Amino acid sequence: MQSGMYVSLSAQRALDKRLTTIADNMANVNTVGFRATEVKFDEVVARTGNDLNAKVAFVSQGNDYLSTETGEIQETGNNLDFAVKGNAWFAMQTPAGEVLTRDGRFNMTANGQLVTVRGYPVLDTGGAPIQLDPQGGEPQVGSDGTITQNGRNVGQIGMFRADISQGYLRYDNSGIKTTQAPQAVVDDSSVQIKQGYLEQSNVNGIKEMTELIKVSRAFESISASMGQSEDSLGEAIKTLGGSS
């Protein structure tokens, strides 16, 4: 009977984590470049008692991973808005080090530095901040990230890739800081930059709301089941105690 309660408790912990990720996804449904968080749950089998064949299956607390689906690409007409097409990210220099982002809302400072909407320097393919000519007019960016001003090559917006499955942390500006060091993407025609466009959040609001309802109902059902188990255990203790 107690094994059943432990199984229910493990399920509640897993559902609580899923609720947390759903809430975070819903809060970022309109955040530019945001990638939704998904959770993978595994079955954990444990032996019970002295019987080697007696096993109970629990659910793990779950491992987070990022959805790889691309958000909707919308045209903005702003020459300092950029979207990445393909499996790659922009990189920005932050107080925490190099951080990847799909949020391409950039600005040019008075001294010509290219920065994100939060003021972090945007990095080139070599990992250095991009310096433009403040008097050179609006920059034009090719699909490979090459930047020109008045027909003169002044730099290249870097596109980077990292194995996110090795671990990551969320950061500001829709960013992620990866455990594995990001590597520049070069000579890959499947990865391109689109100037005058932005990638929207890839969170599907309707899907997340549906998941929220399902998870909430499952949580309530397990809570009710645990309550019944506690009542049954209490009755059993009373009965056994009364018969001694």
One-character DSSP codes across 60-73: ---EEEE--PPPPE
Distance of CA 131 to the CA centre of its chain: 30
**DSSP state letter for 181:** P
Amino acid in the structure at residue 219: F
Cβ within 8 Å of residue 22, ≥6 positions away:
208, 211, 212, 215
Q: Is the pTM of this model over 0.85?
A: no
Question: What are the structural domain ranges in the chain?
Answer: 2-68+223-243, 73-199
Q: Can you give the pLDDT of all 244 residues of the chain as single tens digits?
A: 455 555 556 666 777 788 889 999 999 999 999 999 998 755 444 444 444 444 555 455 667 889 999 999 999 999 999 999 999 999 999 999 999 999 999 999 999 999 999 999 999 999 999 999 999 989 999 999 999 999 999 999 999 999 998 899 999 999 999 999 999 998 899 999 999 999 999 999 999 999 989 888 877 777 666 655 555 555 555 565 554 4
Token readout for 95 is 């107080």
